[in-house]
Amino acid sequence: MIDTRTVVLVEGASDKSAIETLAGRRGLDLGAEGISLVAMGGATNIGAFVGRLGPAGRRLRLAGLCDAREEGDYRRAIERAGLGSAPSRADLETLGFFVCVADLEDELIRALGTDAVERVVDAEGDLGSFRTLQMQPAWRGRDPHDQLRRFMGAGSGRKIRYSGLLVEALDLDRVPRPLDLLLDHLVSSPAG
């Protein structure tokens, strides 16, 4: 991170993969722009990372992406670190932190639609596994959107593998709002 001026804090590797894929599709070279993505190994680590990289640490410009259930953790960590007051989601966005409605997988499935996601799953050779999940008593008859979210989160490494694939399948005019705003924030705000 020698040339890093901006760090994007994300919960895990699947979020990082999605952002890298979207940046590539938009022709943005994050490294060349001095932007590093850091998968924190869980949203509860936000305080430590903001403390180490923000105003009291390396004084880097920070941005981030989180799930709705972690919004409060992000808000408290950002305020404690002195990045600014964030009593609302709009305030978080002004500070460069964006919230997925449920989680990133939910956002991507909604943006693509379940039929398109199933085509991606089929292309990866996993449609049989997905159909098996759909037939399990706990998931039988449930909304395909919910079934796909469960499927993405159930297999070892599946979230990481599919996050980039789903972003690749997106029409660029249908990018989920939090991802779209994050990339716009990174390219429109000064990195120094």
- The model's pTM is 0.92
Distance (Å, rounded) from C-alpha 186 to C-alpha 125?
35
* CA-based nearest residue to 140, from 127, 150, 153: 150
Number of H helices, E strands in the chain: 10, 4
Distance (Å, rounded) from C-alpha 131 to C-alpha 139?
10
Secondary structure of residue 61 in the 3-state scheme? strand
Distance (Å, rounded) from C-alpha 46 to C-alpha 66?
10
Distance (Å, rounded) from C-alpha 8 to C-alpha 185?
11
Tens digit of each residue's pLDDT (9 = 90 or more) over 25-73: 999 999 999 999 999 999 899 999 999 999 999 999 999 999 999 999 9
Distance (Å, rounded) from C-alpha 106 to C-alpha 83?
28
pLDDT of 156 reads 79
61-67 and 35-39 strand pairing: unpaired
pLDDT of 154 reads 87
Tens digit of each residue's pLDDT (9 = 90 or more) over 149-186: 999 988 778 999 999 999 999 999 999 999 999 999 99
Tens digit of each residue's pLDDT (9 = 90 or more) over 95-146: 999 999 989 999 999 999 999 999 999 999 999 999 999 999 999 999 999 9
Is residue 123 a contact partner of residue 117, using CB atoms and an 8 Å limit? no
Q: What are phi and psi of 182, to 5 degrees?
A: -60, -50
What sign for the dihedral angle of Cα 162, 163, 169, 170? positive
Distance (Å, rounded) from C-alpha 54 to C-alpha 81?
7
